[in-house]
Amino acid sequence: MKYRSAFDIIGPVMIGPSSSHTAGAARIGRVARTLFGKQPSKAEISLYGSFAKTYKGHGTDVAIVGGILDFDTFDERIPSALELAEEAGIEVIFTVEDTVTDHPNTVRVKLTEGDRDLELVGISIGGGTIEITELNSFELKLSGEHPAILVVHNDQFGVISAVTNILSKHQINIGHMEVSRKEKGKMAIMVIEVDQKIGHDVMTELEGLPNITQIIRMVD
């Protein structure tokens, strides 16, 4: 299927393809790019459920790759995303999976550059709304619609309160927060969605805390 513009796929007025398969897919791809922090050299995209069945006809493939290229949902370059990714030197691999998942519109995205990689699972709930349910095998819940930080840390006493105390000091209100760990005393991750953008000064203060190994800021 050929599209005359991005608004044939994604836009204020939907004609044909659904927001779940296009706008949502683009947002998942863009969250992956934001968390990765740079353009990858390789993107492995595994599609499940309805995504797997209709990804070409509904433009899910170009939407996800457009997001990985850091295009917003209304960007007119989205229909040409596969060609633009190739021009940028990004190897794109699509895999259609037959595994049954909890949600029909599910995609797993793995981005690689050198020895660095990131893998996440996202679902498109409808109306362009998404949820990131897994990051590097950590279970989480991230909407991508609000300013947020992901804090990777050692699972030690006092780390969570130290982070929240700094946010409180700067009058940053937490809208959603959860903590995930694989094993007691090992690596853990905090997902904190907030009501205001988090400035560089706050990030510097958070990064200076003991037992913090990495902080990723999601900019709204």
CB 78 within 8 A of CB 6: yes
Closest CA to 66 of 151, 127, 9: 9
- Chain segment 172-197, per-residue pLDDT in tens: 999 999 898 888 888 899 999 999 88
Token pair, residue 218, equals 């999601």
Domains defined along the chain, listed by start: 6-142 (3.30.1330.90), 148-218 (3.30.70.260)
**pLDDT computed for residue 181 by the predictor:** 85
Please provide the DSSP assignment of 7-40 as one string. Answer: GGTSSSS--SS-TTTTHHHHHHHHHHHHHH-S--
Closest CA to 136 of 202, 187, 92: 187
**pLDDT computed for residue 53 by the predictor:** 83
Closest CA to 111 of 65, 167, 157: 65
Strands laid side by side in the 148-154 sheet? 174-181, 187-194, 148-154, 212-218
**pLDDT computed for residue 21 by the predictor:** 64
Q: Long-range contacts for 1-6 (Cβ within 8 Å, ≥24 apart)?
A: 1/56, 1/57, 1/59, 2/79, 3/59, 3/79, 5/76, 5/79, 6/74, 6/75, 6/76, 6/77, 6/78, 6/79
Specify the 3-state DSSP secondary structure of 202: helix
Question: Which residues of the chain are under the pLDDT cut of 50?
Answer: 1-16
Please provide the DSSP assignment of 32-89 as one string. Answer: HHHHH-S--SEEEEEEEHHHHHHTTTTTHHHHHHHHHTT--TT-TTGGGHHHHHHHTT
